[in-house]
Amino acid sequence: MSNKKIPESTVSRLFLYLREIVVLCGMNIRTISSAELGERVNLSDVQVRKDLGHVGQFGTSGAGYDTEELKTALEKILGKNKVWNVAVVGAGHLGSALLTYPGFKTHNLNMVAAFDSEDKKIGKKISNVTIQNISEILKNIKDKKVTIGVVAVPAESAQGVADKLVSSGVECILNFAPASISVPENVKIKNVDLSRELETLSYFLANKR
């Protein structure tokens, strides 16, 4: 078992399993089979066993997974037992929306810094975070032990901001800008396309009538 190379889509499914397992533990359900767990999240038992194979060896054949044991192992491998500091670059509509968005805290994500290049925004507070000049990135990210940087700037500024974040020591970048960004191999980049959320709705509209 190596946890160094779990692909991103598998990681997303591990979070999905964890959410279900937390519910099951709350209901005092002690064991669950791969087929039952798969049914709850709409995946085949084969897929569930393959995915959980990345996490470790659980249960004995036929008895199903021990839910408490699985919960602990998933939380550990997914880093849910730690708190991570986040900085947002770009305090426009999207950056401000992210800074004020509830729910990050429940995911152990701490918004600790925000940066913008527009003079009139510097010094303003959004959700207790003071917007600083983008030239302060290097010093602040080190001082505040930020590991996740969020890029919420226009496409043309995205690469420059990412470069600054990388040289400040950020280990993960979440990119909301509609631009592809290059980062060194040891930095994790995740591109977010908000329109994907809307996309799946077209299926329901097309099949309603």
Strands (E), 98-165: 109-116, 125-126, 129-133, 148-151
In the complex, minimum distance from the CB of residue 195 to its own copies, in angstroms, rounded to a whole number:
4
Which residue reads 């994500």 in tokens? Answer: 109
Residues 6+ apart with CB under 8 A from 10: 51, 54
Residue whose structure tokens are 């708190």: 83
Nearer of residues 137 and 146 to its own copies, judged by Cβ: 146
Q: Which residues bind its own copies (CB under 8 A)?
A: 3-4, 6-12, 14-15, 41-44, 46-47, 50, 76-80, 82, 84, 86, 92-94, 96-98, 100-104, 106-109, 147-148, 150, 155, 171-172, 174, 178, 186, 188, 190, 192-208
Closest separation in Å from C-beta 30 to its own copies: 26
Report, in Å, the least distance between residue 143 CB and its own copies.
18
Closest to its own copies by CB, 92 vs 123, is 92
In 20-163, beta strands by DSSP E = 31-32, 65-66, 84-89, 109-116, 125-126, 129-133, 148-151
Minimum distance, C-beta of residue 92 to its own copies, in the bound complex (Å):
8
